[in-house]
Each structure stands twice: as structure tokens, then as C-alpha cells.
Chain A
Amino acid sequence: MSDNPVFDRIRQEVESNDVVLFMKGTPVFPQCGFSNAVVQVLTYLGVPFKGVNVLEDGEIREGIKQFSDWPTIPQLYVKGEFVGGCDIVREMFEQGELREFLAQKGIETEAA
């Protein structure tokens, strides 16, 4: 990976938090429907996560897209691994894969 200085900051976030959601707004006040959809899924599953508000940090907002080679926000990371954006998280959730994926990563979810 190129030595984009913001990559270190991103790496630090995703390596020091089990679940990180790069989003527009905050978990309490999401400012985009897609970000909100992922917040709802994580909240429903009872999964604690760190929200990183890209609207407050232009460098991370652009840097994260190069870091993951993914052009949009939100972006969900679990144990340092890029899981996907809103579509993929929602599809995994609807097909029951997300709970299983999280369990494999050692992340507990609340019973349905």
C-alpha cells in the first residue's frame, strides 16, 4: 500500500477497534440513509462499534476510499478486515450471514 499518511491513522482505527464503521454522521445522529442502515443492523445485533464520522475529517473521507479500494461511504471493518458498504452488510444480514461472520470473528451478537 502506498505511504498515504492517512493510511496509518486508518490502520490505527481498524486495528484498535473490533468493529469500526466509517460513516457520515455519528451512531447517534447518522446523516445519511446508507450509514443509518448499517447503524441499525449493528444496533439490532447488539454489536458495539466505533463510528468514525468522515464528515468531520476530509482526509479520512477520501483516504478510506483508497485504503479499501471502495468508492463510497459507509464502510464497515471487522477485526481490521473490510466487510463492505451498505448493500453488502444489508445482504449479509438478510441472509443470516452477518451474525455467523461476526461469530467466526469472535464477536458476540444478541440473540434474535
Chain B
Amino acid sequence: MAMSAADIERLIRQALPDAKIDIRDLAGDGDHYAANVVSASFKGKTRVQQHQMVYNALKGGMGTELHALALQTSAPED
């Protein structure tokens, strides 16, 4: 099983509608992606909390269908 970049983006956008999402496929196997997510909802959150928000958006796909997601998160500059 694998996830497409579009699936990942759709799921993240459902949870973080304002997010700016940039996804790169690292291996072309639907299993290894890098994603940069910028969202105002990250403001005031630790990196761990920000990443957990993205993982929760993927509804259990992270670590199961999706083996690797090199994640970078940030809140937009004011």
C-alpha cells in the first residue's frame, strides 16, 4: 500500500485548510516523501506538536501506508 502526494495534500488540507503545502516525492515509490507545511495553526506550538498535527491529519497513514515523510513545519512569518 502506498499514498500519493495528492492523498497526502488532501488529508493535510482537510485538517489545516489554510496550509501552504509543498510535497516532494523522494523515491517515486509512494512511500518516501518530503513535505513542508506552513500554517497559522502551528503558531505557539512546539515542533513535536506541529508534526503531531500533520500526522493526525494523515489518519493513521503515517508509519503504516506511508513509510517515510521528512517533515518541516512552520507558522507563517507575521
A interface, CB within 8 angstroms of B: 34, 65, 69-72, 82-88, 91-92
* Total A-B contacts with CB atoms under 8 angstroms apart: 32
B62 smallest CB distance to A (angstroms): 4
Interface size of B by CB at 8 A reads 13
Expressed in whole angstroms, the Cα–Cα distance for A70 and B68 within the complex equals 13
B interface, CB within 8 angstroms of A: 47-48, 51-52, 55, 60, 62-64, 68, 70-72
Establish whether residues B48 and A71, one from each chain, have CB atoms under 8 Å apart when the complex forms: no
Establish whether residues B55 and A71, one from each chain, have CB atoms under 8 Å apart when the complex forms: yes
Establish whether residues A65 and B47, one from each chain, have CB atoms under 8 Å apart when the complex forms: no
Establish whether residues A72 and B47, one from each chain, have CB atoms under 8 Å apart when the complex forms: no
Expressed in whole angstroms, the Cα–Cα distance for A72 and B48 within the complex equals 12
Expressed in whole angstroms, the Cα–Cα distance for A70 and B48 within the complex equals 9
Establish whether residues A88 and B47, one from each chain, have CB atoms under 8 Å apart when the complex forms: yes
Contacting A84 at CB < 8 Å: which of B47, B68, B72? Answer: B47
Establish whether residues A91 and B72, one from each chain, have CB atoms under 8 Å apart when the complex forms: yes
